[in-house]
Structure 1
């Protein structure tokens, strides 16, 4: 068995992998919840701020990945430029982040299928989709890249059609209806829920933008990474910002934030804002059509999530921080044992019959989103330290294949923003009368575990150095 990955991903693969990881449940389903909780203005502000954060982090990641392309990306950078315990902790956090997200996407897919087959046991769909995703990930890297490229292309085309149709609906309503754009005609509708709701939507928008950094994870399998990575990062940011901001604007103009069919209680996510828009213009088969589109989007994102988490575990093992068995790859360069271990988290989807699909989905979103913000803090800290080390070694900035903008203010701003958003969740739960031990545990369950991992690794390293 080999222990090496293959450099077979092209620039177009890298660009679409990043889109495939981020254009999924977050934009197609939870965007409706963002509108419901924070109103049109609050939702747009949250997505704009998150777009700025992603722009900064993608620039930081691009500088490091173009200079030192490795499979594992910022996890390796965290070890090299911050500390070994820090990288160790970031590695397990990010693996956990995407392994949990695999289960999140599977539960979302089950809920979507319930729109057509409400009386069918959802475990059937979970088993079917889970098996297909695993089979796709067992293919060679090149085949994976091609599959993800076309799946993501299909999603991009769908969103563009949605935006175009939405703009026509807005223009039509403005000309023929006095009640057009009701979400933008009163202060309560624009910023519904105030600061509390805004912090809640930050968590949702963070979940929606997660995956942008997947291009860095795939760097170890990229052809000519010094050129392809900067190009992919530049393209991905503008595409994501275009899709998310414009899509949210269209949704906020056409769908009232008070529409109870938007995701707000976790009982049903089958009616997404995309479905509601096409129903608004009277297309009889809109619900089924959009549900099919959303299903493809969710499964594509699930495919990218499993790919990413598998490579992360492989990298952790290669660095000696996980059992050697996870280093093994098959003749196609696929880390099969790491894939099997990661796929275990997908089995959480089978808990839906016991906990309820909606409740399970929202819990998984909370856990995944906070882990994602922790990973983003790792990127910011690693880049700050990377540039310091790079300059101390006597290198010139002009020699970097890709140079991030705004250093050192940009990574420090990104770090501060991530911390504020994470702490802000406690503000929502504790200071605004929404305290619940269940919600608190669901949101912060990973924090004490990561703290223990960091402490144990630090103690282990100190003992090793003393001997």
Structure 2
């Protein structure tokens, strides 16, 4: 059951001009109903009584930090960098990933500031209800849920393809095995999930560091018989690649196409706050994780893009390998050229663990958002049932049911349709980032409207006042131009257009329908109960974590 730092059983109501505030004195429990007295229109909260009573705070600083890293370092890094180099060239790809890295920085800091203020299960889905409109929380929440319903079987299907690199064992064996393993991790103590992701993340970090160092050794001629390359491929065929157009315009389009794909490589960092109500000291832990995870992930990606651009030519035909296995990895291509035969199998093994790690993360995000929707009565109440050890088992079972869609991979025609549907969820990443930035912008505006200094926030950085609107503008531009190639002469693709843009009307439709049927309205800035929330934070301060000493201090540099 959930941990308690003493439980007071008294409850009372505080009246003030406008909103009606109900304070229930559980651990970090605060329910705010903003709107006309007696209205349940704009309901948003800190940790609710259900979360406090039924969920277990089993995640620690090291778990939270590496969960985000585990989600962001995956197939996009190990296998996908080659296509970015091919599309934009070494410098174009580097600039694209650097640009998106800055956007991710703004998103992470915005998420950290709002989560430190509202550390709830469901993260930015619940924040949207508190700060914007219940209909926005409903639309974003169900968008994430259905996206995860499809992404987990997609990861399982990818694992089947990866195993075919070694063996011809029937794919159904791997599907059943992975579903069983994923379910066991999802239904176990949340700490079990945290430990699994922690060790997988460490494995990936160590391996990507190894690949970066190996790439530099190969590039600088450290392997006997392999000539020094340096920046040879930056000179020939050149730092940029023309994409669709010609000249400078074509080079810019290559950069922009690469930037659009880079967004999805960084996907996963936003899930760091999904289980805030299951995290110890979330107001300290999650902002710290948001800040430090960004720098680690950005560092790995930027260095990887730089090294890959030095190792492989943008015109190398092996980058077109469609096997979905380690054969298309630029690291494998470079290692094969250097005569290092073990690297392909090692990369394939790491990508398998990455795919499974991603499915575990999608299970956590999907189930916690589903649980959060049920808390707000935007999903069936049966989803609120939890195990004695604090896991929403009905949500896990629902999510597990959709994993069996992976059996569609046994039919080639069905697999084509299945992956087409999976592509529909791709822009959901940008929609999630946009909602995080909107939530943060609304919080900043509400503080200014109510004349409360931003320094009152549990965690705040002065530059986020400027970075959030800029990043929001960039995310919207990328969202609406992600499928720009479909509008160029001779490149129209109906499936490409639909997969790039269908998620936008789906989210807008869900938003409008919930507003119509529930008659919700936007939360007014002066009615968001900020003062009461800040008072509750002062009443229930988190204990400071003791400083680490000895070996724990040095090894903890990876996540602290």
Checking the alignment, whether the CA contact within 8 Å between 1:173 and 1:180 is kept in structure 2 is: no
In structure 2, what is the equivalent of residue 46 of structure 1? 96
222, 226, 236: which is aligned to 2:279? Answer: 222
Once residues 405 and 489 of structure 2 are traced to their aligned partners in structure 1, the CA distance between those partners, rounded to angstroms, is 31
Once residues 375 and 132 of structure 2 are traced to their aligned partners in structure 1, the CA distance between those partners, rounded to angstroms, is 19
368, 372, 387: which is aligned to 2:425? Answer: 368
Q: Per-residue deviation at 1:361?
A: 8.2
After alignment, is 305-314 or 182-191 more displaced? 182-191
10, 16, 26: which is aligned to 2:76? Answer: 26
Change (3 A) 1:432 1:385: farther
Equivalent positions of 1:180-199 (< 5 A) are 180-186=230-236, 188=238, 190-193=240-243, 194-199=251-256
SS in 2 for 1:172: coil
Q: Per-residue deviation at 1:356?
A: 6.1
Checking the alignment, whether the CA contact within 8 Å between 1:105 and 1:299 is kept in structure 2 is: yes
Q: Are residues 1:292 and 2:341 paired?
A: no
In structure 2, what is the equivalent of residue 162 of structure 1? 211
SS in 2 for 1:369: coil
What is the aligned length?
A: 463
Equivalent positions of 1:66-81 (< 5 A) are 66-81=116-131
Q: Per-residue deviation at 1:180?
A: 4.9
Once residues 99 and 181 of structure 1 are traced to their aligned partners in structure 2, the CA distance between those partners, rounded to angstroms, is 43
Q: Are residues 1:145 and 2:194 paired?
A: yes
In structure 2, what is the equivalent of residue 444 of structure 1? 501
108, 127, 134: which is aligned to 1:58? Answer: 108
SS in 1 for 2:268: coil
346, 349, 352: which is aligned to 2:409? Answer: 352
Checking the alignment, whether the CA contact within 8 Å between 2:219 and 2:228 is kept in structure 1 is: no
In structure 1, what is the equivalent of residue 448 of structure 2? 391
Checking the alignment, whether the CA contact within 8 Å between 2:220 and 2:230 is kept in structure 1 is: no
240, 250, 269: which is aligned to 1:212? Answer: 269
SS in 1 for 2:490: coil
Once residues 116 and 246 of structure 1 are traced to their aligned partners in structure 2, the CA distance between those partners, rounded to angstroms, is 30
Q: Per-residue deviation at 1:442?
A: 2.0
Q: Are residues 1:410 and 2:467 paired?
A: yes
After alignment, is 431-440 or 354-363 more displaced? 354-363
In structure 2, what is the equivalent of residue 6 of structure 1? 56
Once residues 154 and 137 of structure 2 are traced to their aligned partners in structure 1, the CA distance between those partners, rounded to angstroms, is 25
Once residues 45 and 361 of structure 1 are traced to their aligned partners in structure 2, the CA distance between those partners, rounded to angstroms, is 33
Equivalent positions of 1:121-140 (< 5 A) are 121-140=170-189
Where does structure 1 lack aligned partners over 5 or more consecutive residues?
Answer: none
Q: Are residues 1:279 and 2:333 paired?
A: no
Q: Per-residue deviation at 1:342?
A: 2.1
After alignment, is 441-450 or 381-390 more displaced? 441-450
195, 214, 221: which is aligned to 1:172? Answer: 221
212, 215, 235: which is aligned to 2:292? Answer: 235
In structure 1, what is the equivalent of residue 361 of structure 2? 304
State the superposition RMSD in angstroms. 2.5
Scaled by the length of structure 2, the TM-score of the pair is 0.77
Where does structure 2 lack aligned partners over 5 or more consecutive residues?
Answer: 2-49, 244-250, 523-560
Once residues 184 and 357 of structure 1 are traced to their aligned partners in structure 2, the CA distance between those partners, rounded to angstroms, is 42
Checking the alignment, whether the CA contact within 8 Å between 2:229 and 2:311 is kept in structure 1 is: no
SS in 1 for 2:391: coil
Q: Are residues 1:116 and 2:173 paired?
A: no
Once residues 265 and 446 of structure 1 are traced to their aligned partners in structure 2, the CA distance between those partners, rounded to angstroms, is 29
SS in 2 for 1:213: helix
Q: Per-residue deviation at 1:266?
A: 4.2
Change (3 A) 1:236 1:417: same
After alignment, is 390-399 or 319-328 more displaced? 390-399
Q: Which has the larger radius of gyration?
A: 2
Change (3 A) 1:71 1:131: same
Once residues 220 and 227 of structure 2 are traced to their aligned partners in structure 1, the CA distance between those partners, rounded to angstroms, is 10
Scaled by the length of structure 1, the TM-score of the pair is 0.92
Residues 283-317 of structure 1: per-residue CA shift (max 9 Å, x gap): 12221122112211221122112111111111111
Checking the alignment, whether the CA contact within 8 Å between 2:92 and 2:239 is kept in structure 1 is: no
Once residues 484 and 321 of structure 2 are traced to their aligned partners in structure 1, the CA distance between those partners, rounded to angstroms, is 20
Q: Which has the higher contact order (CA 8 A, sep 6+)?
A: 1
In structure 1, what is the equivalent of residue 135 of structure 2? 85
Checking the alignment, whether the CA contact within 8 Å between 1:111 and 1:357 is kept in structure 2 is: no
Q: Per-residue deviation at 1:323?
A: 0.4
Q: Per-residue deviation at 1:436?
A: 0.9
In structure 2, what is the equivalent of residue 97 of structure 1? 147
After alignment, is 273-282 or 308-317 more displaced? 273-282
Q: Name the one with the larger helix percent.
A: 1
Change (3 A) 1:235 1:254: same
Change (3 A) 1:35 1:11: same
Q: Per-residue deviation at 1:145?
A: 0.9
Q: Per-residue deviation at 1:337?
A: 1.1
Q: Per-residue deviation at 1:20?
A: 1.3
Change (3 A) 1:344 1:205: farther
In structure 1, what is the equivalent of residue 479 of structure 2? 422
